């Protein structure tokens, strides 16, 4: 079987990316755009440039700004109603992973029969749907260019992971000027999310010659520039490099896959509405140590990319160093040291184990855990 590299049809990066994307949109046979975003981004003025460009081309649009962190099934259903009532035929998502994932899910149900809950899992989308531009405002999720969407089923308290190449936006946009106002804690969380993507994509058995270099470059860039952006959110060079880094990480994991960090991180996000990047950051060193016990070799390259140095160490020593560097970076950017700081207790774990074991990210992990091992890892991350 050949290796598939899944990417958007077109990607714009750098200052001026929004203008270029709207110019391409103007060439499409569309009548009205549904902009999917959240109220906070509107208050911050991050949609102003986009709406000005749309107006300059006389492109009609309507805004759906109800999206919240960890978007839910209800938000998707309500977004579908707005898309249909307004007779829209195009999507533009503006935001981080939450608005982009919500837009992906609305697009799926707008062009395929069935409720969004029926698409949980891998390869269940038949029709790609309306033309779709995803404009990223964070440097973490890579949702603007990946085939995944994560939607919380609030009734069953589980994060559904919908994985299908037909969800990939037609155009991905990364304009660093939209990211300069991100608070330090959001910058840290999204940056550690991207680091998790890159490391999981590098150590997974699904890694390929086409994905390993992008994963390592993402690790290198994040290690160098994330502390800079956390300290000074207005540093445009740091923002631009982080935007590129998270895109590279997305290129890697979108085709190579993820692993146990994500399958475990989805559960506290669903039950406690915790930031996904923070959950990933807490679990990343714990799961990396678990993986390195039986397969330390890939972590040598991780350590070298994070440090910028080569080491005369055996594989176990190199893996230990990689884990130490991950922990140091988390501390440096202010990530909580464990789930207990976020209101989680051991009583919560019982409800997470089965769902983590069923998560579609788990098969990509290099070491398949037992339920008892997952419980032990959660306890270590407490």
**Binning pLDDT at 50, 70 and 90, where does residue 311 land?**
confident
Which pLDDT value is given to residue 133? 98
| Extents of the domains making up the chain | 10-178, 184-380
Q: Are 174 and 140 in contact (CB under 8 A)?
A: no
**Count of H helices and E strands in the chain?**
14, 9
Which pLDDT value is given to residue 314? 96
Say which CATH architecture domain 184-380 belongs to.
Answer: Up-down Bundle (1.20)
The β-bridge relationship of strands 148-153 and 158-163 is: antiparallel
Residue 200 has pLDDT above 90, yes or no: yes
Q: What is the pTM of this model?
A: 0.93
Q: H-type helices in the chain, by residue range? A: 17-25, 39-43, 48-56, 73-85, 97-111, 184-203, 212-231, 236-256, 260-272, 276-292, 298-307, 315-332, 350-358, 371-380
Q: Are 296 and 318 in contact (CB under 8 A)?
A: yes
Across all residues in the chain, what is the average pLDDT? 96
Topology adopted by domain 10-178: Rossmann fold (3.40.50)
Among the listed residues 243, 275, 277, the one whose alpha carbon sits nearest the alpha carbon of residue 261: 277
CA distance 340 to 381: 8
pLDDT in tens, 78-90: 999 999 999 999 9
**Binning pLDDT at 50, 70 and 90, where does residue 142 land?**
very high
Residue 146 has pLDDT above 90, yes or no: yes
pLDDT in tens, 89-99: 999 999 999 99
Q: Are 283 and 326 in contact (CB under 8 A)?
A: no
CA distance 309 to 304: 5
The pLDDT of 335-359, averaged and rounded, is: 95
CA distance 82 to 19: 26
pLDDT in tens, 265-299: 999 998 999 999 999 999 999 999 999 999 999 99
Residues 6+ apart with CB under 8 A from 109: 76, 77, 80, 115, 116, 119
- Using CB atoms within 10 A of its CB, is residue 18 exposed (0-12), middle (13-18) or buried (19+)? buried
Residue 158 has pLDDT above 90, yes or no: no
Which pLDDT value is given to residue 147? 95
Q: Are 259 and 204 in contact (CB under 8 A)?
A: yes
Q: Is the dihedral of CA 257, 258, 259, 264 positive or negative?
A: negative
Question: If you ran DSSP here, which 8-state letter would residue 68 be given?
Answer: -
């Amino acid at each position: 079987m050949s290796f598939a590299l899944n990417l958007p049809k077109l990607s714009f990066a750098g200052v001026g990316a929004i203008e270029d994307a709207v110019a391409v949109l103007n060439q499409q046979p569309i009548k009205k755009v549904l902009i999917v975003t959240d109220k906070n981004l509107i208050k911050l003025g991050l949609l102003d440039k986009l709406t000005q460009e749309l107006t300059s081309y006389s492109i009609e649009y309507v805004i759906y700004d109800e999206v919240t962190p960890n978007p839910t099934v209800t938000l998707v259903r309500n977004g579908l109603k707005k898309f249909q009532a307004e007779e829209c035929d195009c999507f533009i998502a503006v935001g981080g992973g939450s608005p982009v994932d919500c837009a992906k899910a609305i697009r799926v149900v707008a062009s395929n029969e069935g409720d969004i809950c029926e698409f949980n899992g891998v390869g269940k989308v038949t029709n790609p749907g309306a033309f779709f531009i995803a404009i990223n405002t964070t440097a973490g999720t890579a949702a603007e260019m990946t085939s995944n969407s994560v939607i919380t089923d609030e009734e069953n308290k589980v994060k559904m992971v919908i994985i299908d190449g037909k969800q990939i936006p037609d155009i991905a946009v990364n304009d660093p000027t939209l990211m300069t106002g991100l608070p330090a804690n959001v910058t840290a969380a999204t940056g550690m999310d991207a680091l998790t993507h890159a490391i999981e994509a590098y150590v997974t058995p699904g890694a390929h010659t086409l994905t390993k270099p992008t994963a390592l470059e993402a690790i290198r860039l994040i290690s160098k520039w994330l502390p800079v952006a956390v300290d000074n959110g207005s540093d445009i060079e740091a923002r631009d490099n982080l935007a590129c880094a998270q895109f590279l990480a997305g290129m890697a994991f979108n085709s190579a896959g993820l692993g146990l960090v994500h399958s475990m991180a989805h559960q506290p996000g669903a039950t406690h509405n915790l930031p996904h990047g923070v959950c990933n950051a807490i679990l990343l060193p714990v799961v990396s140590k678990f993986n390195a016990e039986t397969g330390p070799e890939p972590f040598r390259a991780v350590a070298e990319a994070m440090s910028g140095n080569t080491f005369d160490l055996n594989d176990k020593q190199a893996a230990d160093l990689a884990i130490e560097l991950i922990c140091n970076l988390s501390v440096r950017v202010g990530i909580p040291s464990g789930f207990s700081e976020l209101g989680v207790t051991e009583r919560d774990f019982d409800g997470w184990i089965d769902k983590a074991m069923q998560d579609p990210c788990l098969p990509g992990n290099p070491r398949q855990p037992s339920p008892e091992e997952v419980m032990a890892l959660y306890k270590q991350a407490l």
